[in-house]
Amino acid sequence: MDGTYENPQNCTFDEDFKSILLPVSYGIVFVVGLVLNALAIWVFVFRMRPWNVSTTYMFNLALSDTMYAISLPLLIYYYAKHNDWPFGAALCKIVRFLFYTNLYCSILFLTCMSIYRFLGICFPMQSLRWSNLRYTRIVCIVVWGIVIAFQIPIFVFVDIEGIGNTTLCYDTTNQIHFNQFVIYSAVQLVLLFCCPFTVVVICYGITAKKLLRPNGIRPEYARSRKKSIKMIITILTVFVLCFLPFHITRSIYYSSRSLHVSCSKLNAFNLAYKLTRPLASANSCLDPILYVLGGQTYRSKLARKGNGVENKNNLPSAKKTISGMNITHSVYTAEIGLEELKQTAAGSSDGV
């Protein structure tokens, strides 16, 4: 809940820090996230046709981040005015819906990218059958459908409430329905964060072990291996920095409210939870790093845009076809010495 909160034990919290911390942090996320992700969408749509599997996942990630960034000015105003929401209940519900939709879309799309990269590096030949844009589009639709379905209860739980001369926009729900909201949040925690995070850690643990083992990699592929390792570090950083602290502190805070702990402890947990909210939003600024690391095609198209040069005859070289399937494995499979696949998809410059 945002604003001054009194629980059944009459604990009152001073949350004036939010009027400075959240407008500033959300303002940075709005400017940086909107510019970088809008630019990424422009490059994906107008400069990177046809798409491959990686591009499709990254486009959906950028779309989710852009939708969230557009909603931030309302929250910036709300917190700058010391939790006074003048925009009505509908916009309050929509803003909270967009926050959680972006949060869990980001988690699931990053998980999809992690699985795809894991299969491409560790099981390159077997994974060729899944390197098909049709399957990738289906996966993206399923991700959006799952996340939206999970966030529909937000429109029921979230509401506004007038207290004195101010109107609060809850980011949870009112006290009457709070216990139900805790159960709903716990289900989301397990299914939309804990399970994907476990999958990412396992996939990248195995992938990193494969990349780091000494196996006589040819010098020309050392740079690709370093890029792969940087990608792994970036995605794990987003999870550990943005998603993990938020979910840990939120779970502790919600549980503490339900268990009616002492006011001093509840105040500390409330403070920790509110401090991690900007970190969860910061993923919108960190995700564009993945687009740069993700492939040479994106970097080259972005560079050409900056220089005002575009070679219309230069199609993305990462798109290869074997039996009607899109192949984007060459760089990463070459890193682990699969010479036969490199020769099949020679010339690929986009990452998996």
Whether residue 326 has pLDDT greater than 50: no
Q: Which CATH superfamily is domain 18-312 in?
A: Rhodopsin 7-helix transmembrane proteins (1.20.1070.10)
pLDDT band for 351, please (50, 70, 90 cuts). very low
CA separation for the pair 26, 325 (Å, rounded): 42
Look at residues 219, 25, 29, 227 and name the one whose alpha carbon lies nearest to residue 121.
227
225 vs 234 pLDDT, higher one: 234
Residue with tokens 């099949």: 344
pLDDT band for 104, please (50, 70, 90 cuts). very high
What are the angstrom distances between the C-alpha of 238 and each of 81, 95, 103? 30, 22, 11
Contacts of 226 (CB under 8 A, 6+ apart): none
Q: What is the pTM of this model?
A: 0.83
What are the angstrom distances between the C-alpha of 180 and each of 90, 149, 323? 21, 17, 51
283 vs 293 pLDDT, higher one: 283
- Helices (H), ranges, the chain: 18-47, 53-80, 88-122, 133-151, 154-157, 178-188, 195-212, 222-237, 244-259, 263-281, 283-294, 296-307, 330-335, 339-344
Q: Give me 254's structure tokens.
A: 């919600």
Domain spans, the chain: 18-312
Whether residue 171 has pLDDT greater than 80: yes
Chain segment 36-60, per-residue pLDDT in tens: 999 999 998 988 878 888 899 999 9
Question: What was the pLDDT predicted at 318?
Answer: 37
Whether residue 345 has pLDDT greater than 50: no
15 vs 162 pLDDT, higher one: 162
Work out the burial of residue 12: count CB atoms within 10 Å of its CB; fewer than 13 is exposed, 13-18 middle, 19 or more buried: exposed
* Residues 34 and 332 sit within 8 Å (Cβ to Cβ): no
Chain segment 111-161, per-residue pLDDT in tens: 999 998 898 888 888 777 777 889 999 999 999 999 999 999 999 999 999
CA separation for the pair 171, 242 (Å, rounded): 18
Whether residue 308 has pLDDT greater than 70: no
Question: What was the pLDDT predicted at 194?
Answer: 97
78 vs 309 pLDDT, higher one: 78
Whether residue 81 has pLDDT greater than 80: yes
Residues of the chain with pLDDT > 90, as a percent, come to 54
CA 84 to chain centre: 29
Whether residue 339 has pLDDT greater than 70: no
Whether residue 276 has pLDDT greater than 70: yes
Q: How many residues does the chain have?
A: 352
